[in-house]
Amino acid sequence: MDHVARFDSYFVCATPRTGSSLLLGLLGSTGVAGRPQAYFREPDEPLWAERWGVRRTAGGGYDHAGYVRAALAAGRSGNGVFGAKLMWGALGPLLAKLRTVHPGVTGGDLALLERAFGRTAFVCLRRDDTLAQAVSWLRAEQTRTWFIGGDGEISGNDDGDGHEPRYDAEEITRFVRTIEDHNAAWEAWFSSAGVRPYRVRYEDLAEDVTGATRRVLGFLGVEAPPDRAIAARHRRQADELNRDWMARYRAEQAPHGGRAGSVPTAEARPPEGRT
């Protein structure tokens, strides 16, 4: 039986190391929730444009209207549903480029996104344990390995072509603060844009990948065929080293009156790398 999609498109709105690649792979495996990827991460856009053969401009760039059309074609499943991932740092540049493509759109950010992508849903993916998330982020930055396995991503798995992981309390503090700032920024944007996202906890996703995926499908208004297996395409990366770093960090904060997962009041600087 064919199912009519409630939404034309959806964005998974997240911060790094919340299981977003895992969720995208699970949704893609259903065959009814698009082929979601981080199509609008600015450093990767030229790579996607080259893969898709998007027309170059006279200045050597590429036509963004053509880029969006190519992303829609690549990211749709057979039922017409489009999916993509947005980290907080990708939203602003995407909106700015869409305004050049659709300069006459009024009504705010949501109206602009829906002009480009049709009726659009938002899935907010969060992780309760921000310390575990920060430790995972630090290791990924150091080793340059953002996932194991994969689902056709354009970048992010450099097969460990980085440095050996090294404990760094200052960097963990920086990532904890960045996660908190980006989570707050997402919440402020949801409120200002009039968006009511469907919320997914990383902890729930990790505990029951099939159930969590089916619940997202229900929100989107689609249903996986009964004979279709919902399969993870990425493998878990956390190990004993992550737990050791977390225990060490908590122990170091305790003499300063810090709680588990709290951070000292040092000035944070913005992170580099994948956001």
Average pLDDT over residues 246-256: 88
Q: 126 with 202: CB under 8 angstroms?
A: yes
Structure tokens at 180: 């908190």
What's the CA gap between 210 and 227, in Å, rounded?
Answer: 14
Query: Which contiguous run of DSSP H or E holds residue 206?
Result: helix 202-207
Helix (H/G/I), strand (E/B), else coil: 13:
strand
Sequence ranges of the domains in the chain: 9-256
Task: Check residues 4 and 196 and name the one with the higher pLDDT.
Answer: 196
Q: What is the pLDDT of residue 148?
A: 57
Q: What does the buried/exposed string (b/e) look like for 201-230 if buried means 16 or more CB atoms within 10 Å of the residue's CB? A: bbeebeeebeebbbebbebbebebeeeeeb
Average pLDDT over residues 160-183: 90
Instruction: Express each pLDDT in 82-136 by its tens digit.
Output: 999 999 999 999 999 999 999 999 999 999 999 999 999 999 999 999 999 999 9
Task: Give ∠ CA 23-52-93 in degrees, rounded to 5.
Answer: 65
For residue 192, the tally of other CB atoms under 10 A from its CB is: 11
148-149/234-235 β-pairing: antiparallel
Question: In sequence order, which residues have a C-beta less than 8 Å from that of residue 48 and are 6 or more positions away?
Answer: 39, 54, 67, 70, 71, 74, 154
Average pLDDT over residues 220-234: 85
Q: Which CATH number fits domain 9-256: 1.10.275.10, 3.40.109.10, 3.40.50.300, 2.70.70.10?
A: 3.40.50.300
Average pLDDT over residues 149-174: 72
Q: What is the pLDDT of residue 182?
A: 98
Amino acid at 29: S
Read out DSSP for 72-138?
A: HHHHB-TTS-EEEEEEHHHHHHHHHHHHHH-TT--S-HHHHHHHHHSSEEEEEEE-S-HHHHHHHHH
For residue 156, the tally of other CB atoms under 10 A from its CB is: 16
- pLDDT tier at 266, thresholds 50, 70, 90: very low
Average pLDDT over residues 27-42: 96
- pLDDT tier at 157, thresholds 50, 70, 90: low
- Lowest average pLDDT, out of 15-24, 152-161, 190-199, goes to 152-161
**Res. 161: pLDDT tops 80:** no
Place of tokens 């995972």: 136
Q: Residue 259 carries which DSSP code?
A: P
Q: What is the pLDDT of residue 58?
A: 84
Q: What is the pLDDT of residue 3?
A: 47
- Lowest average pLDDT, out of 9-13, 126-130, 200-204, 229-233, goes to 229-233
Question: What's the whole-model pTM score?
Answer: 0.86
- pLDDT tier at 264, thresholds 50, 70, 90: very low
Average pLDDT over residues 149-167: 64
Q: 94 with 167: CB under 8 angstroms?
A: no
The mean predicted confidence, pLDDT, of the chain is 87
